[in-house]
Every structure is written in C-alpha cells, then in structure tokens.
Structure 1
Amino acid sequence: MEKKHVIMDDAAVSRAVARISYEIIERNKGVENICVVGIISRGAPIGRRIADKLGELEHADVPFGTLDITPYRDDVSETTGDEATDIPFSVTDKNVIIVDDVIFTGRSVRAAIDAIIKRGRPRSIQLAVLIDRGHRELPIRPDYVGKNLPTSHSEKVKVSVTELDGCDSVAIYG
C-alpha cells in the first residue's frame, strides 16, 4: 500500500494529547480516582503521554498501566496469557481511561473492557483515542477523540509514535 496523505504531524499529535488531557480533567473534575490504561502497542505510549500530561496539569500522580488485549479478542482462536499486561494498581472503584491509537470496528475496545472488568469493578470506564475512523461493528463510542477521520474500508490508518517508530505521525494508506 502506498501512503496517500499525512493527516497529523508531531505537533498535531502533541496538541491532540493535550486537548484530550484537558477534556479528561474537565469531565472528571480533576484526576482524583483516575487511572490510565494504554492498549499495547501504540495505545500504550499515547496513554503514557496522557497520564503524564494529566499529572503535570493537576500536580498529581496518575497511575498508568499497559494492557495486552490479545487473550480477550473474539477474532483470535488460540490465546496465551496476558503476560505483556502491566497494571500495577487496582481498578476497583476507579475511573479507568482506556487509551488506544485508532478505533475502527470497536472490537479491540470490547476486548479491553473485558480485560479491565476481569481485574475489578471500576466506577467507570472511559475511552480516549487519537483517531476515530468510524465503521463501528459494536455499539462503542469514544469519550475523547484526537481527530475524527472518515475513511473507506479499503484504506488503512497508520499511527507512528516516537517511542516505537522514531517519529509521531498519522497517515492514510490506500
């Protein structure tokens, strides 16, 4: 597939993370009882950035963890344990912010919700995504969106993050 268009550069990604962080603070009236869980792989670094920004803005420590959703997916026949998951805090009675890079069909988010609920009973589960490209197959809607990006089914959206790819960007391939 060839790159069609770069949608977001590093500055745009940074602004989206900041905006999402402010929206989380506003909706939750601060960061008390908030924890952030990033879906592996690109949701994790974005989630870390959001947790750090929340902490910076509110002068508080915001718990952060990473979640491997592979064992909870409905489109994977054989699964292993969730060894890559690292949630070093209780989610019980917390407002859990799940972070992913792109929401498409909603199946990854459903798997993430199952994985979180297996670990305890959160007060609420909220969803933050960098890109919402539509085409949902499940009744799942993000609470916080960096950018809505209508796409066709044949197009691919690639999110690059500095931590894994050496730069921040969002591009459409087709």
Structure 2
Amino acid sequence: MTENITCTVGDATRPQGPGSKIIAHVCNDIGGWGAGFVRALSRRWPQPEAAYRRWYRERATNDFALGAIQLVQVEDGLSVANMIGQHGIRSRSRTSQAAPVRYEAIDRALTALAAHASATAASVHMPRIGCGLAGGRWEEVEPLITRRLSARGIAVTVYDLP
C-alpha cells in the first residue's frame, strides 16, 4: 500500500494511466454549477452537470446533502464523482465571509468514494478539491485524501494546471 498522492501538471478532465478511473471534485449544496472546475467538466461531458442538477432538484426524495456522493459514468471505464463538500458559495462582494468548504463533508464523501474505487479497482483523479472557489486549504484536504484513499491502496493523482 502506498500513502503517496501523485501530483502532476495537467488537466484533471483527461486522467492518465491504465484501468478504470474516477474524476472526483467538490460541489456545493445549493444546486449551483457554473464556475470553477465544473466548467471544464461540462465542456467535456454533459452528464455530470445534468445528473447533479437532477439530484439537487429531486433532493426531497434522495440523499443530496453535505457529504453525499454521486457517481456519473461519462465513458467506458471513466466516471465523475460529484461530491457535496461545500455549503453555499462565496459572494464576490463579501470577501470577508467564511469559506464555504466543509472538510467533514469532504471526508465523508471521500470515504464513500473509497468504497466505489475499491469495488471497481479504479484510480482516483482530481484537481486540488475544495481549494478553489470553496476556499479550502490543501494542508487540510491532503490528509483526508491520504487517510481515506491512498492509505487504502487506491492510486490518487492530483492535477495542477500549467
């Protein structure tokens, strides 16, 4: 088992390596999709956005909540994990407000993701989840990824744009 996370320069929507893959990213809990990494996802595939919006619309009858995960197959051997790890969104006019990231929700989502990745022998690929518009700190997120995924033998690659 490795506890390393591979960091590379590249595009997380084009995951590298053999075998089944899951692209993981953090979504908010208010049904908003349109800024940050989700824009890159939507340029590649319509399914993750459509599934997320439907999941949100039908939230009264499903598990949509902080810490939940939704897997959406986009190609053979490739899925996107919509993980609810952000409470609301940060207002552009109120820069002093608290960051919307919710580390405990990301931790729960990563636990669920680990079960899916293990069951399908998939590697996990992601940007620095929770650290963009969600306002999180990588120093807080990386140990969650290590504990929930890489410590369980799941290969993890984190992509930074050039």
Work out whether the TM-score is over 0.5: no
Q: Per residue, is there more strand in 1 or in 2?
A: 1
Provide TM-score, normalisation by structure 1: 0.36
Structure showing greater Rg: 1
